[in-house]
A = this chain, B = another copy of it.
Amino acid sequence: MTSTLPAALTAARTAVDPELRKVIGKLDPDTRGVCEYHFGWTNADGSPNGGGGKALRPALVLLSAQAVAPNGAQAVPAAAAVELVHNFSLLHDDLLDGDTSRRHRPTAWTVFGRPAALLAGDALLGLATEVLLDSTSGDAIASARALCAAVRSLIAGQNADLDFEHRADVTLDECLHMADEKTSALLACSTSIGALHVGAPRETVERLHAFGSELGMAFQLVDDLLGLWGDPEVTGKPVLSDLRARKKTVPIVHALTSGTEAGRRLGELYGKEEPLTEAELREAADMVRRAGSQQWTQDECERRLAAAHQHLPRATGNAEAIESLTELAEFIVRRQR
């Protein structure tokens, strides 16, 4: 697994951060403070902090726009918009899931309280449209509409994800559909909105969307695997947290519906009233592996990544750009977190 950061990520961070800081600067001081903490720019006491996320989505926006349009650099507002939507969803997700840690730091709601974190999420969602509409170049209406559609998918996926926790009969198809809505939709938006914003032809936008959609699924499958076997030191999340919360992620649902003895035992554990013990959690993870679902998920991830790559040469003849996007896609899927 590679761990050096592709240059595209650093470049995206440099290009997008000023735009993000500018638009977040429009907020009232209280709401802004929560957002700045969440973005890793400040500590809980407001003092500066060098941190920040990996800018995966902004990098995808900028690279894909540059790959297909000579004025791709004008996609910075689109890159900022996607990053704002992503962070709106993180703020609200952490509230919904009661997660206390993110990127190795206490989540915003644990520091500022639930109401302030909820409102900060609302604010970021509003700013996501605003940053596009404020942009003086590019097709703001087309890109903002694409973003709104992705937000609808994201919400549908989050709703399904929560719903699954209370259902014993989730099928693999339902689970893949949920992952598609929860994660792939915003990734597909990331790889196409920049091209849309700078006026690339429709077919090009659609190819890039298809690339991001497959990549997004591969990304989610890696996330699901890390949720079971990731190193907490690296992921920043408690070990086996997905099983503890009885999440129905893809490998788990694959195991539950595998018809194997291991899957049956996993279902038994998931059916228990009381919280699972540490030993039971480890057993549950082992049942996912024994059901062949770890392997299947890894294979499916590779299939999705290969499918993603196939869309690129049909979107652009820019070999250098294809190489950068390919490198970034590989990084995303090979990451430990």
Question: In the complex, how many angstroms separate the beta carbon of A260 from the nearest chain B beta carbon?
Answer: 31
Does A126 have its Cβ within 8 Å of any Cβ on chain B?
A: yes
**Residue interface mask A126-146, B partner, CB < 8 A = 1:** 110110011000001100110
Whether the pair A152, B28 counts as a contact (CB closer than 8 A) is yes
Interfacial residues of chain A within 79-133, with CB under 8 A of chain B in the complex: 88, 92, 95-96, 114-116, 118-119, 121-123, 125-127, 129-130, 133
Whether the pair A158, B27 counts as a contact (CB closer than 8 A) is no
Does A162 have its Cβ within 8 Å of any Cβ on chain B?
A: yes
Inter-chain contacts of A151 with B (CB < 8 A)? 122-123, 126
Inter-chain contacts of A163 with B (CB < 8 A)? 30
Inter-chain contacts of A144 with B (CB < 8 A)? 129, 133, 144
Inter-chain contacts of A152 with B (CB < 8 A)? 26-28, 123, 126-127
Inter-chain contacts of A31 with B (CB < 8 A)? 155-156, 159
Q: Which residue numbers of A lie inside 8 Å of B, CB to CB?
A: 26-28, 30-31, 88, 92, 95-96, 114-116, 118-119, 121-123, 125-127, 129-130, 133-134, 140-141, 144-145, 148-149, 151-152, 155-156, 158-160, 162-163, 181
Report how far A88 CA is from B160 CA in the complex, Å: 20
Known: A130-B148, A133-B144. A155 touches B125 (CB 8 A): no
Name the residue of chain B whose CB is nearest to the CB of A26. Answer: B152
Whether the pair A27, B156 counts as a contact (CB closer than 8 A) is yes
Count of chain copies: 2
The 8 Å CB contact of A145, one of B88, B114, B134, B148, is: B134
5 smallest CB-CB distances across A and B, nearest first, come from: A28-B156, A130-B148, A126-B151, A129-B129, A30-B159
Whether the pair A28, B125 counts as a contact (CB closer than 8 A) is no
Whether the pair A141, B148 counts as a contact (CB closer than 8 A) is no
Report how far A126 CA is from B28 CA in the complex, Å: 21
Inter-chain contacts of A148 with B (CB < 8 A)? 126-127, 129-130, 133
Inter-chain contacts of A134 with B (CB < 8 A)? 145
Question: In the complex, how many angstroms separate the beta carbon of A122 from the nearest chain B beta carbon?
Answer: 6
Inter-chain contacts of A126 with B (CB < 8 A)? 125, 148, 151-152, 155
Inter-chain contacts of A121 with B (CB < 8 A)? 122
Inter-chain contacts of A114 with B (CB < 8 A)? 96
Question: In the complex, how many angstroms separate the beta carbon of A265 from the nearest chain B beta carbon?
Answer: 29
The 8 Å CB contact of A122, one of B92, B127, B141, B162, is: B92
Whether the pair A30, B141 counts as a contact (CB closer than 8 A) is no
Known: A27-B152, A134-B145, A152-B26. A159 touches B95 (CB 8 A): no
